[in-house]
Homo-oligomer: A and B are copies of this chain.
Amino acid sequence: MWRWAGCAALALGLALEALARAWRRRRRRAPRREVLFFPSPVTCTAALLGEPGLAPCRCPLPHGDSPLGRLLRRLLSARRSLELCLFAFSSQQLGRAVLLLHRRGVRVRLLTDSDYMGLAGSQVGRLRQAGIQVRHDQESGYMHHKFAIVDKKMLITGSLNWTTQAIQNNRENVMIVEDVEYVAPFLAEFERMWEEYNPANYTFFPQERGTKMTPAFGAKKGTNLMT
């Protein structure tokens, strides 16, 4: 009798142990899910963007947390790769973060919109000069995405264009996402567009272009047209 009881208790114990292990694994794997809302109060980001070992910044700006600070921290967590797919990119702080990652050896690739990449204030030229690979569309429509993928695992996406105007003045959202059901399609779309926008496919006088009206970064509300 005791032998049977022992076997049954052992089986029960093993089943419970397996259950506990599955639960622990599930807890460990819980993906990060975070939402940031803008406008962001202006805070000092020198500690995030400075080289380690520098003295603490003594500027008069507040040194606390902010949506921009959180966005920078997520971005700066990249160790291997950073895919950027950005309609407009003129924020100096986000530009510095991307350059910092590039200097640390992170493989950065940037897809962007051909009309916006050349505007005064754009960070795209600066990144290109530093050796970062950039490709752009050649279409009549906009390349209007605003997402980044960190280490092929974390998606940063939303309504926010990477401009100081949007960060400091607009109502915007940014989602930080690690669920593979979202990250995988965005990554696949990035790779598809990366191949499609291969410079070997560029033509230099596309027919569908409209006439430019000297667009400018950070133009005041009420002076902007439609996207």
Min CB gap A176→B, angstroms: 10
Q: How far is the CA of A110 from the CA of B211 in the complex (A)?
A: 34
User: Given the complex, which residues of B lie within 8 Å of A158, measured CB to CB?
Assistant: 157, 159
User: Given the complex, which residues of B lie within 8 Å of A185, measured CB to CB?
Assistant: 35, 37
Q: How far is the CA of A139 from the CA of B226 in the complex (A)?
A: 18
Q: Are A226 and B222 within 8 A (Cβ)?
A: no
User: Given the complex, which residues of B lie within 8 Å of A205, measured CB to CB?
Assistant: none
Q: How far is the CA of A224 from the CA of B116 in the complex (A)?
A: 10
Interfacial residues of chain A within 119-150, with CB under 8 A of chain B in the complex = 119, 137, 139-147
User: Given the complex, which residues of B lie within 8 Å of A215, measured CB to CB?
Assistant: 224-226
Q: Are A141 and B159 within 8 A (Cβ)?
A: no
A172 near B: Cβ within 8 Å?
yes
Q: How far is the CA of A170 from the CA of B7 in the complex (A)?
A: 65
A200 near B: Cβ within 8 Å?
no
Q: How far is the CA of A33 from the CA of B180 in the complex (A)?
A: 10
